[in-house]
């Protein structure tokens, strides 16, 4: 997970391995509940809906 809050090109972060890229901390916070649900399902080996 990466949050691009500065002057870097998005490709710098994705080329470094980020597979989720958010344009701001607020965008990450807004998505957090959904991300947490996916991470929890993966950890518990439950299918992702």
The pTM assigned to this predicted structure is 0.76
pLDDT score at 39: 85
pLDDT band at 46 (very low <50, low <70, confident <90, very high): low
pLDDT score at 48: 58
- The arithmetic mean of pLDDT across residues 29-41, rounded, is 92
Angle at the Cα of 22 (from 34 to 48), degrees rounded to 5?
30
Written as six digits, the tokens of 42 are 């993966």
5-10 CB contacts, 8 Å cutoff, 24+ apart: none
Residue 19, pLDDT above cutoff 70: yes
Q: Bigger pLDDT: 16 or 48? A: 16
Indicate the SS3 state at residue 11: helix
Residues 3, 25: contact at Cβ < 8 Å? yes
């Amino acid at each position: 997970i990466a949050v691009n809050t500065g002057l870097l090109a998005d490709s710098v972060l994705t080329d470094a391995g980020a597979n989720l890229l958010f344009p701001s901390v607020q965008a990450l916070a807004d998505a957090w509940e959904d991300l947490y649900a996916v991470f929890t399902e993966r950890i518990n080996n439950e299918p992702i809906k």
